[in-house]
Amino acid sequence: MGRPLETAWVRELSDGPGGGELAEYRSFVLGARGGHYAQLPAWDAVTRSVRKIATRYLLVRRREESGELRLIGAARVTRPVALAVPLPVGAVERGPVVADLADLPEVLGALASTAARHGIARLTAMPYWADDEATEATRILAEAGWKDAQEADGSHARTLRLPLPPASTETGAPGASPVELFAGKEREALRRKLRQAEKAGATVRQGGADAIAPLHALHTALMTGQGKHGRPRAYFEALHQAFVAPGDGAFFLAEHQGETLAALFVVRHGAVATFVLGASSNVERSFSKMAPPMAAAARWAREQGCTLFDLGGIPVEGDADEKRASIAQFKLDFAKTPVTLAHEHARAMVPGLP
């Protein structure tokens, strides 16, 4: 029998002396190998800019033999709200978070039982683990009664990752050159695209609040062209306030002849930086519009001390959607080896629900 667990299910994380629950939760998510930015409290404002939700935070602590309570799992749980009433369905986006995969069974059990006691009849979860550890997480989910609920156009379950060598110099000696981030034959096409853009006079800059309007406009045009609804301006304002202004995220813009041709947002969480979203204009140019700001984002990530740059997802095997395939082809210039993530899973707390 495992050691006793204690769970807390709170509307807000306390911010008391020494940081309280808020500091403890944030530190845990950022330091855990299974952590993700979507589980950070700051992401709540971004989500709320798009839809009405009710949020609860789960903290799972284990009492050690020494008597100390140690945080072993955490989750940001959201529920859609209709007519000011939370609906009986919940989601844990890229979570629950555990630092050790061996703790996932206990944390999943605490999550399911606590959610059920608070009126959630169906819950989805998507622990953030990759490759062999994603396979193990999937096994644990299945044994705990969770069913695969992954959809092709849902949260991505396959990605590409660019390793980031240290920003220190090749030899460590004063005056030595930095390690080339895009070296190697496999990135020859990328280097060519970057040279073409530079030769044509395209420039890239890191933006602040001034990047909100162009990124919003480009993304809205992209979504409209695909017959989809774009995100409101408030979403991009929330990204700036929650991540860019504090230095945990960045906007990058590619400009040419007085026009913004492309813009993107990247966020860092622990040792990983992730490309979250971006868009380019439909103005014809003789060079890649998105490659320069993506390259700048990767360089920024390395400067922040990150060791991986996550390119934000590619289609799962068998997905024949042409738009998603086109995006993946662009990302393959940066990294070639697909990384498989754990799928989204669902569990019904009420018998008979799918």
Question: 12 in helix, strand or coil?
Answer: coil
Mean pLDDT of 249-266: 97
Q: How many residues does the chain have?
A: 354
228, 346, 33, 113: CA torsion to nearest 10: 130
- Torsion sign across C-alpha atoms 30, 33, 38, 40: negative
**What's the helix, strand, coil split of the chain in %, to 5?**
35, 30, 40
Neighbours of 200 (CB within 10 A): 12
Say which range, 6-10, 73-77, 158-162, 325-329, has the weakest mean pLDDT: 325-329
Average model confidence (pLDDT) for the chain? 92
pTM, full prediction: 0.92
Res 170 pLDDT > 80: no
Domains 5-155+341-348 and 165-306 share a fold: yes
Tokens of 118: 């608070």
- In DSSP notation, 164-201 reads ---SSBSSSSTTPPBPPTT-SGGGHHHHHHHHHHHHTT
Of 143-152, 167-176, 254-263, 342-351, least confident by mean pLDDT is: 167-176
Both tokens of residue 221? 């045009």
Please give the share of the chain, as a percent, with pLDDT higher than 90.
81
pLDDT of residue 153: 81
- 59-68, 106-115, 208-217, range with the lowest pLDDT: 59-68
Q: What is the pLDDT of residues 317-331, one digit of tens each?
A: 777 677 777 778 889
Residue 2: per-residue pLDDT: 67
Residue ranges of domains in the chain: 5-155+341-348, 165-306
How high is the pLDDT of residue 353?
Answer: 55
Provide the pLDDT for residue 176: 42
Long-range contacts of 244-247 (CB under 8 A, 24+ apart): 244/208, 244/211, 245/208, 245/209
Give mean pLDDT, residues 186-206.
Answer: 96
Mean pLDDT of 166-174: 58
pLDDT for 287-321, tens place per residue?
999 999 999 999 999 999 999 999 998 887 777 67
pLDDT for residue 102 is more than 90: yes
Structure tokens at 35: 């952590």
User: Are the C-beta atoms of residues 341 and 158 closer than 8 Å to each other?
Assistant: yes
Of 168 and 205, which is predicted with more confidence? 205
Higher pLDDT, 63 or 139: 139
Q: Which fold has domain 5-155+341-348?
A: Aminopeptidase (3.40.630)
For the cut 50, the answer to whether the pLDDT of residue 251 exceeds it is yes
Dist CA 13 CA 21 (whole Å): 5
CATH number for 165-306: choose from 3.40.190.10, 3.40.50.720, 2.40.50.140, 3.40.630.30.
3.40.630.30
CB distance 197 to 257 below 8 Å: no
| Average pLDDT, integer, range 179-186 | 87
Least Cα distance to 154 among 352, 348, 321, 336 occurs for 321
Range with lowest mean pLDDT among 64-73, 92-101, 173-182: 173-182
CA dist., res. 224 & res. 57, Å (int): 35
pLDDT digits (tens, 9 = 90+) for 56-75: 999 999 988 888 899 999 99
Confidence grade of residue 21 (pLDDT, cut at 50, 70, 90): very high
Pick left, alpha or beta for residue 62 (phi over 0 → left; psi -120 to 50 → alpha; otherwise beta): beta
Residue keyed to tokens 């990384």: 339
